[in-house]
């Protein structure tokens, strides 16, 4: 089925999501992008999932502790959905309405990949959850940071230091390979919304590639109206 175009009221902020496997560098890149957007005088909000609102952060703690896994895949999916519902209603939608650009570290593609492709939760169940939690809200752009599994896991281990791996970091190598594949598939299926970014490069190079995508997608037409977009 052809990908539908996003309709966006004038004055509304843009909703940009970052996706990718463990150690793909999402948080570093989101921070870099937020700084650039703010330098261009665009109001920006950085947020994340699971979490991003006080209620959703409580659920984040539950799922990442592995507690959700004990309940089984469907119930764990309900926990992610409950967190997203709160986050969308109390943080994302109000910010977009006020014209703020929202940069979100993971969103509904994570559920598609982790719970759907890898957790084998039924597509109909995921569709129903999606309707309830996000309705018509769709990212204006999704950047999928793609990195070889060994590189990503090594980065995640360095970041973690002596701490224990979380619920998903501790899955086996095959899981992470399937994860990468599932994300690449989403990028191929939805080229209008998604861009695959080669994240196996230094931070500055990846940030420059991310910025090039934004310029191309959002600023080409009004390059004269927005300051500091070079
Ligand atoms: P986090 O520490 O934020 O990981 P990362 O730095 O990789 O983003 O942990 C979030 C974990 O939750 C991550 O392993 C992916 C998983 N997750 C899901 O399984 N489903 C979801 O819908 C979301 C948003 C995250």
CATH code, 146: 3.40.50.300
The per-residue pLDDT for 166 is 76
Per-residue pLDDT of the chain (230 residues; tens, 9 = 90+): 567 665 667 799 999 999 999 899 999 999 999 999 999 999 999 999 999 999 999 999 999 998 888 999 999 999 999 999 999 999 999 999 999 999 999 999 999 999 999 999 999 999 999 999 999 999 999 999 999 999 999 998 898 888 887 777 777 889 999 999 999 999 999 999 999 999 999 999 999 999 999 999 999 865 545 544 54
The per-residue pLDDT for 140 is 98
The Å distance, Cα 221 to ligand 1 centre, comes to: 35
Distance, in Å, from the CA atom of 204 to the CA atom of 31, rounded to the nearest integer, reads 12
The per-residue pLDDT for 171 is 75
Cα distances from 8 to residues 105, 143, 228, in angstroms, run 21, 19, 24
Q: Count how many domains the chain has.
A: 1
The per-residue pLDDT for 84 is 98
The Å distance, Cα 229 to ligand 1 centre, comes to: 31
Does the residue 183 lie in any domain?
yes
Instruction: Say what the pTM is.
Output: 0.92
Collapse the DSSP code of 33 into the 3-class scheme (helix H, G, I; strand E, B; otherwise coil) and give the result.
helix
Does the residue 223 lie in any domain?
no
Structure tokens at 100: 């703020």
* Best residue for ligand 1 mutational test, from 106, 115, 118 (most atoms within 8 Å of Cβ): 106
Residue 17 phi/psi, 5° resolution?
-110, 150
Does the residue 65 lie in any domain?
no
With tokens 């890898």, the residue in question is 118
Does the residue 92 lie in any domain?
no
Boundaries of domain holding 157: 15-47+101-217
Cα distances from 15 to residues 68, 92, 95, 127, 167, in angstroms, run 28, 8, 10, 20, 27
Q: Which residue's alpha carbon is nearest to atom 14 within ligand 1?
A: 168
- Residue 17 beta carbon below 6 angstroms from any ligand 1 atom: no
What is the DSSP code (8-state) at residue 24?
A: S
- Residue 44 beta carbon below 6 angstroms from any ligand 1 atom: no
Find out whether 19 and 110 touch, Cβ atoms under 8 Å.
yes
Q: Which residue's alpha carbon is nearest to atom 6 within ligand 1?
A: 22
Does the residue 54 lie in any domain?
no
The per-residue pLDDT for 183 is 98
Distance, in Å, from the CA atom of 215 to the CA atom of 196, rounded to the nearest integer, reads 16
CA angle 53, 58, 62 (to 5 degrees): 135
Find out whether 139 and 16 touch, Cβ atoms under 8 Å.
yes
- Specify the ligand 1 atom closest to the Cα of 80: 22
- Residue 218 beta carbon below 6 angstroms from any ligand 1 atom: no
Does the residue 129 lie in any domain?
yes
Distance, in Å, from the CA atom of 101 to the CA atom of 46, rounded to the nearest integer, reads 9
Does the residue 228 lie in any domain?
no
With tokens 């989101």, the residue in question is 30
- Residue 111 beta carbon below 6 angstroms from any ligand 1 atom: yes
Does the residue 40 lie in any domain?
yes
Find out whether 119 and 76 touch, Cβ atoms under 8 Å.
yes
């Amino acid at each position: 089925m052809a990908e539908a175009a996003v309709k966006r009221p004038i004055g509304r902020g843009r909703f940009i999501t970052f996706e990718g496997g463990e150690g793909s560098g999402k948080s570093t890149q989101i921070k870099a992008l937020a700084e650039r957007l703010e330098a261009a005088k665009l109001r920006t909000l950085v947020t994340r999932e699971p979490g991003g609102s006080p209620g959703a952060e409580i659920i984040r703690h539950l799922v990442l502790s592995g507690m959700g896994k004990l309940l089984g895949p469907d119930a764990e999916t309900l926990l992610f959905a409950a967190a997203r519902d709160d986050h969308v209603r109390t943080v994302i939608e109000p910010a977009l309405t006020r014209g703020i650009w929202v940069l979100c570290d993971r969103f509904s593609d994570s559920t598609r990949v982790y719970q759907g492709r890898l957790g084998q939760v039924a597509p109909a169940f995921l569709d129903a959850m999606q309707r309830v939690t996000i309705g018509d809200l769709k990212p204006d752009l999704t950047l999928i940071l793609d990195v070889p599994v060994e590189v990503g896991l090594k980065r995640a281990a360095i970041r973690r230091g002596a701490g224990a791996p979380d619920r998903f970091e501790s899955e086996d190598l095959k899981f992470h390979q399937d994860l990468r594949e599932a994300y690449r598939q989403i990028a191929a299926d939805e080229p209008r919304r998604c861009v695959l970014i080669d994240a196996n490069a230094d931070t500055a190079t990846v940030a420059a590639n991310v910025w090039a995508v934004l310029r191309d997608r959002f600023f080409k037409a009004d390059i004269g109206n927005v300051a500091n977009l070079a």
